[in-house]
Structure 1
């Protein structure tokens, strides 16, 4: 349900559970976190999904059994955020719930026009993962973060772009757009890429 493809320094992580809207089980999250932890050699890491949804967040059955508050979410987003290379969330569709953590931890977020973005933790009775509101507020400010997390608002791709939550809306193949955007990073000295990231923090 998680596929990793390596093309030189360009790594693609694909969530491949379209029949369940790419909802995430503990096993899937652990695999994603393990790969992200080991991906320091990747010049570019792209995370995407199969089908029309990037990820619906936690598998609901597992969420009710404790997955919603499991530390594996923080382990995953922390591993992505710590990578020295360029990280891109290529949102092939809707991004929901806890899955937003790994997208927020990426350097860039690209999305197809029909994507929606929402984080319904308050409706489900769960707190968001600790780093998610912090990263979201750094991108879009505290008031808009509260609009999403407390107002439980579902944003269109266009609204998310206007807020600054999505960096580019892509017509067509979002993975191809991520690869095109990565060309200069793939051609650069990895130390330069890591240095630029450090200066931007």
Structure 2
């Protein structure tokens, strides 16, 4: 349910492929994603996307009730993505919900299709978000808008997400991966030490 394509250029494309369940994430899927991210230090750039019309609905509900909602695997995944030296891009093919926000927030860039929605109803479900998620979200959109999403329970449109700074571009669905490739092109062509050096200076 996780697909990985490694290209000769050094581009890795990771696809969450469980569209019949809105790409909801099981512990096995999250572990596989974390293992890929931990091995992706050799990648020059990484694109994270989903199959179908939803990027991810967050945790699989049955597994969430059984403890996945509070598992450390979410932080393991987002931490591994955030630590990568190459450019990381979340190409959001649809709605981003719940704990799946963490992996997108950990990426360097986020692009999304026009119909995407963004929400994180963790408080309503009776859980705290993973510790790094509010910090990363607040760094992008500020504390008040972060509380709007996490405490106000608001579902944000792609247009609002763009105006807030939560995403960087709105892209036609047919052009989503092409745009992600275009954003990665200069990094793939650069000296890896220079690219990683610029990323470190931006931290």
TM-score range, shorter chain: over 0.9
Structure 1 match to 2:184: 182
1:173 equivalent among 164, 168, 175: 175
The answer to whether structure 1 residue 97 and structure 2 residue 98 are counterparts is: yes
2: CA distance, partners of 1:73 / 1:66:
12
With the length of structure 1 as denominator, give the TM-score of the two structures.
Answer: 0.99
Structure 2 residue 142 is matched with structure 1 residue 141: yes
For structure 2, which runs of at least 5 residues remain unmatched after alignment? Answer: none
Alignment of 1:14-29 (within 5 A): 14-29=15-30
What SS does the aligned partner of 2:114 have? coil
Alignment length (residue pairs): 201
* Moved >4 Å (runs of 4+): none
What SS does the corresponding residue of 1:22 show, helix, strand or coil? coil
Give a deviation string over 1:98-154, Cα, whole Å, max 9, x none.
000000000000000010000010111111000000000000000000000000100
TM-score normalised to structure 2 length: 0.98
Per-residue displacement from partner, 1:41-87 (whole Å, max 9, x unpaired)? Answer: 10110000000000000000000000000000000000000000000
What does residue range 1-12 of structure 1 map to in structure 2 within 5 Å?
1-8=1-8, 9-12=10-13
In 2, Cα distance between equivalents of 1:151 and 1:117: 13
**Structure 1: gaps spanning 5 or more residues:** none
2: CA distance, partners of 1:123 / 1:56 = 15
Q: Show the counterpart of 1:41.
A: 42
